Amino acid sequence: MQLRPNQRLKLDDTDDKLFYAYPRFVTHVDEGFIQRLTDLYRDRLKPNTRIFDMMSSWVSHLPEEMQFDHVEGHGLNGEELARNPRLNHYLVQNLNENPQLPLPDEDFDAVLNCVSVQYVQYPEAVFSEIYRILKPGGVAIISFSNRMFFEKAIQAWREASEAERVELVKAYFASVPGFTAAEVITHKSTLPNLLQWLGAAGGDPFYAVIAYRS
C-alpha cells in the first residue's frame, strides 16, 4: 500500500504545530463513542503493561480501574499532554515532519491511536514505527469516527466513505509485514443523518481497527 502524493495533501498545508499551538480541552467524540472505546481497552489491554498513546491529548480514555506499568504519551500540544493524568511521560513530535519515534524497539505492549489517524500523511512510515516499538504479540488499536478537522485530514481520508476509511486503515496495517490480519469493530449510529450532523448524543459512529505484532 502506497498513497499517491495527492492523497497525502491537506487543505491547510501550514505547519501542524501552528494549528495545534493552543490547547483544546474538549473531547472530539460523544460519550457513546468514548464508552465503547474504554470498554474495548478494558477487553484488549492487560494491566501492568506498557502503553504508547500516540497522537494523544489531555485524556486517554483508559479504564479508570486498570493500572499500567507505564503510559507514554505523544502529541503536538504539550499543555494538553501535561494535563493528562494517565501519562507517566510524554513527548511532543510532529509525525508528518519526522515519523521516526525516539523510542526503543519492542518496548510497548500496546499502541493506541484515537481519532487522529486521519491526519497522518505518511502512514506507511508511522505504521512501521508502530510495529517496531511493539513487543511480539503486542496490540495496536486505531479508533476513529466520522469527525475530523477537515482542513487537516489528508485527501485520501476526506474523499473516502466511512467504509472506505476502514479499508484504508486495514491497508496501513497490511503495508507492514508482520502484523496479523486486521480485525474491525463497528458500531454505526441509528440516529437520522440530520441529528448526527447536529451532534446529537449517540450520533457518533464507532470504528476500531485492531492488529497484533506476530
Task: Give per-residue pLDDT as tens, 104-117.
Answer: 999 999 999 999 99
Query: H/E element holding 39?
Result: helix 31-44
- The widest CA-to-CA distance across the chain, in whole angstroms, is 47
| C-alpha to C-alpha distance for 156 and 9, rounded to whole angstroms | 8
Arithmetic mean of pLDDT, 190-194? 62
Percent of the chain residues topping a pLDDT of 90 = 80
Arithmetic mean of pLDDT, 183-194? 79
| C-alpha to C-alpha distance for 134 and 140, rounded to whole angstroms | 8
Residue 201, amino acid: A
**Residue 23 pLDDT more than 80?**
no
| C-alpha to C-alpha distance for 211 and 174, rounded to whole angstroms | 9
Task: Give per-residue pLDDT as tens, 125-148.
Answer: 999 999 999 999 999 999 999 988
